[in-house]
Amino acid sequence: GQSLEQPSEVTAVEGAIVQINCTYQTSGFYGLSWYQQHDGGAPTFLSYNALDGLEETGRFSSFLSRSDSYGYLLLQELQMKDSASYFCAVSHYGGSQGNLIFGKGTKLSVKP
């Protein structure tokens, strides 16, 4: 089966850096995605890693280590608007498996 583990909650202060970790166990791993969801809103795509290493998109970066089945999302220069839930998701396209498997999400609270 597939499983993803991420912390349930993280708290940080405005302007700081926070890292949200994700470990996964899955067959047919293809890549790791990150999504952001504000309360009452729809998930929105943030980043995707298919290869080992760091991908940077503005204040957000995402890292993947396939050998360790591990990834993280790094948020820099935190802003109040970054308060949201963050989900890692495994894609394993191939054969009949084309859906994303989501983690349970990490609720990030940014304090002033």
Q: Which residues bind another protein (CB under 8 A)?
A: 30-31, 33, 41-45, 48, 50, 87, 89, 91, 93, 96-105
Q: What share of the chain is helix, strand, coil (3-state, %, to 5)?
A: 5, 60, 40
Nearest CB to another protein, comparing residues 74 and 101: 101
Determine contact, residues 55/47, Cβ cutoff 8 Å.
Answer: yes
- Closer CB to another protein, 88 or 110, in the complex: 88
Nearest to another protein of 15, 98 (CB atom): 98
Q: How far apart are the first and last CA of the chain?
A: 41
